[in-house]
Amino acid sequence: MTGRFPIEDVSPVVSCGRYPAKAVVDEPVPVSARAYREGHDALGCNVVWTGPDGEARPFTRMRPGEPGQDRWHATIRPDAVGSWSFAVEAFQDPYLTWQNAVIKKIAAGQGPEDLANDLAEGARVLAAARDLVPTADRPRVADALTALVETDLPLPQRVGPALALADLLWEHPVRELVTTGDTHSIWVDRKRALYSAWYEFFPRSEGAVGGRSGTFATATDRLPGVAAMGFDVLYLPPIHPIGRVNRKGRNNALTAGPTDVGSPWAIGAAEGGHDTIHPDLGTPADFRAFIEAAAAQGLEVAMDLALQCAPDHPWVTEHPEWFTTRADGSIAYAENPPKKYQDIYPVNFDNDPEGIRAEVLRVVLHWVGEGIRIFRVDNPHTKPFDFWHWLIAEVKAVDPDVLFLAEAFTRPAIMHGLGKIGFTQSYTYFTWRTTAAEMREYCEELVESADYMRPNFWPNTPDILHESLQHGGPPMFKIRAVLAALLSPSWGMYAGFELFEHVARPGAEEYLDNEKYELRPRDWAGAEAQGRSLAPFLTTLNRVRRDNPALHQLRNLRFHEIDNPALLCWSKHDPETGNAVIVICSFDSREVQWGNTTLDMPALGFDWHERFTVHDELTGTSYDWGQRNAVRLDPYLQPAHVLTVRRPAPPTETQPAGAEPADLTVAEVPEDLSGGTAPTAPAPTAPVPTPPRRSGPVPTPPRRSATRPPASAPTDAAPKDARWTS
C-alpha cells in the first residue's frame, strides 16, 4: 500500500493491467474502485483521466455505491481514438465532515456556543474553497463565509448559506491528504468497433453467368440492396488467387472438375499470394473503385485475413521453412478432424518468426494503403497469441482506426484471450444458444467481459447453418435476426439468410452446394418482388438499431423476468438521451406463446409505480405499460415485440414572481461518511426533522390487458405455408 488511503479493486483493468481495457469514442465507460479510511471523517474519490494528446480531462468526482461496501463509481466518456490513461484518487473531504457534524449537532439542539469550534472549522474550509470554485461562484462562497463568522446572526442564518454550497463543493471539493492509485490504460477505438451491422457476400457470385465468375464491377450492382437493408460493413471472403494444386470441388469434393472455382481460403497461385487480387475479379484499380462505390452507399469494406496458403502459393516455393514438414518430407496440410483441408497449408510461425512477422505486416499495411480499415481474421486461435499482440499494435501504430474481428469458435479462455490482446470484435457462441435461458446466461457473461471483448452475433456463416434454421421455418429466421441484431451492438449475416436458405449437406451443419466451392448467383430482386425475402424485416431491424442510441451499447443490456421459459425479455437504456428499447422475443417458431413480464423499472429510468407508452416497431401498435404486462407472440405474425419507450412529458411548473425559496430541509446523512452520500442542503431556515426513509416492497399496478397482434400480418411477415421449399 502506498499513500494515506487504500485504493483497491479498480475497474476497468484487464489481467491486472497487463492489457488495456477497451472503449469507443463517446462510449460511457464506468470506472469504479474500493476506497476507505479509518474513523468517521468523510472520504471522497475522483478519477484523473488523460487523453492520447496528453491533456488531462475535467475533474470527475466519484459517487458512493451501495452503503457499507466502500465502492465508488464514476463514468468517463473518451472523445478521441487512441491510448487513454486513468487513475483513482482518494482524499479527505473536510466540507462533508463539517456538514455532517453541524447538521447532527443542530438536530440535537446545540447552539452557537456549543458549535463555536465547528463554525471556526467551517470558516477555514470555506476560505480554502473560495479559490477552488469557478469564478462566477466565488461570491456565493464569500457570502457564506461572511455569514458563518457573523456572530450577530441567528444560527440558521449563519450556517444556512454554507450548507447550501453542498452541490457546488461536491463538484469542486476541498481535498486534503490526497492519495493517487496506480495508473491504468484504456484503448479507445472508433465507434464502429462497438456498433456495426455486417453483411457477407462472395463478389464472384454477384453477376456470375454461365459458370463465369462475377467481378468487382458486377458486384457493385449489389451494393445498393445491401445498403438499403441498413448494413454498414460489407465483408468479403478472400479476394486473392486460388490455388490449383489439390483444389476442392463442389461440396468439398476431393477432386475438382475443370470448371470448379475452388475455395477462396486456399490462397495463392502462380498469379500471386496475399497481396494480389484474383484476376477473375478484376484489377487493383477495379477493387479501389469497388471500395469507393461501397463508401458512396454508406458501406465500409472489410477484408478477410487468412494466414494460410495453397500448395502453389509463392511462399511455399520462396520460403518452404515457413511450413511444417512431415516425416515423409511432404508439407503438412490443415486438418480439423474429421475435416481435412488438403488444399491448405498452415503457416508454422515458429519457423523464422521474424521473417513471417515482417511479411504479414507488409501484407496488412498494403491493404490498409488500398483503403481497408477492417479485417476479419480467419482462425486466429491457430496462430501464436504473441504474434497477434505484436501485429495489431504495429498496425494501429500506423493507423489507429484499423479494426480486427476474430473468427474463433473455440474454448472460452482462448476467445477471451484474443479479445484481451487486441482483437476489436469477436465471433461468439450465439449460434448455439437456442433457448431463452442459455441466451440470457451467455449474454450476461459477455456484459461482464465488456471491458475487453466485444461480441459480434451472426445467425449464419458460409460454414455454419444451425439445425434451428434448417428446420425452424421462416419464423426462426426472424427470431434469430431479432436476437442477433438487438442483443448485441454488432451483428452480421451471410448472404442468402434473407432468402431463407436452409438446406444442409446431409449430416452436417453447413450448406448444401456451399458457396465456398462454387458460384451461387441469386435473384435478389425477384425474390423480394414475390415476397420471398426477409429483406424488409431486416431493414426494419437495422432502422430500429440506427434510430435508438441505447442499442449502440453493450454494457447497458439488462434482462427482465418473464414467466414463460420460451420467451426472453430484455432492454437497453441510454441515461443521457433517455432512449430505451424493450424486446420480448419467442424462441418457438411454431406455436403461439403467452407471458407476463416483471420489469426492472429503474433499469428503464422509471420509478416502480410509473406507467409509460411503448410503440411496437414491428407492428406499429402502441400500448400502455407498467411493471407487469401480458404479451402474446404468434411466430407466423411477428415472433417478437420490439418496443421503443415513449416517456410522458414532465409537467412544467413555474414559481410565482417574488415567491420565497423552499424551506431548508436537514438532509439525511449516513452515520459513516467514508462511503456515504453527498447531501444537498437548499436555502437556509430553521432545521426540521428528516422524514423516515420508506422501506418495504413498492406496490405494483394491476395487470393490464394483453397486447394483441393486428388483424392482418405486416407485409414482411412470412405466411404459415412459409414458401418453404428445398
DSSP 43-78: EEEEEEEE-TTSPBPPPEEPEE-STTS-EEEEEE--
The residue-averaged pLDDT of 254-270 equals 96
On the question of pLDDT at 644 being above 60, the answer is yes
The residue-averaged pLDDT of 429-452 equals 98
On the question of pLDDT at 699 being above 90, the answer is no
Amino acid 1: pLDDT = 61
CA 289 – CA 225 distance, rounded (Å): 18
Q: What is the chain's mean pLDDT, rounded?
A: 91
| Residue 682 burial (CB count, 10 A) | 16
Amino acid 380: pLDDT = 98
3-class DSSP assignment, residue 157: helix
On the question of pLDDT at 150 being above 80, the answer is yes
Query: Which tens digits make up the pLDDT trace of 648-680?
Result: 877 665 544 444 333 333 333 334 333 333 333
- Low-confidence winner among 68-72, 631-635, 674-678 (lowest mean pLDDT): 674-678
Element (H, E) at 9: strand 7-11
> What grid cell was written down for 257?
472438375
Binding residues for alpha-maltose 1-phosphate: 248, 308, 343, 379, 516-517
Amino acid 654: pLDDT = 53
Amino acid 663: pLDDT = 38
The pTM of the full predicted model, rounded to 2 decimals, is 0.89
What are the backbone angles phi and psi of residue 339, rounded to the nearest 5°?
-75, 140
On the question of pLDDT at 614 being above 70, the answer is yes
Write the single-letter amino acid at 285: A
Write the single-letter amino acid at 545: R
On the question of pLDDT at 182 being above 80, the answer is yes
Amino acid 648: pLDDT = 84
Amino acid 696: pLDDT = 34
CA 582 – CA 289 distance, rounded (Å): 41
Amino acid 662: pLDDT = 39
DSSP bridge partners of 394: none
Which of 1, 2, 23, 3 has its CA nearest to residue 12? 23
On the question of pLDDT at 722 being above 60, the answer is no
The residue-averaged pLDDT of 499-518 equals 96
> What grid cell was written down for 340?
481435412
Residue by residue, what is the 3-state secondary structure of 644-659? EEECCCCCCCCCCCCC
Amino acid 653: pLDDT = 56
Domains of the chain: 1-90+185-189 (2.60.40.10), 94-174 (1.20.58), 195-308+346-497 (3.20.20.80), 557-646 (2.60.40.1180)
Active site residues: 378, 407
CA 590 – CA 633 distance, rounded (Å): 11
- Indicate if the alpha-carbon torsion angle 370, 375, 379, 384 is positive or negative: positive
On the question of pLDDT at 480 being above 60, the answer is yes
Please tell me which residue, 78 or 656, carries the higher pLDDT value.
78
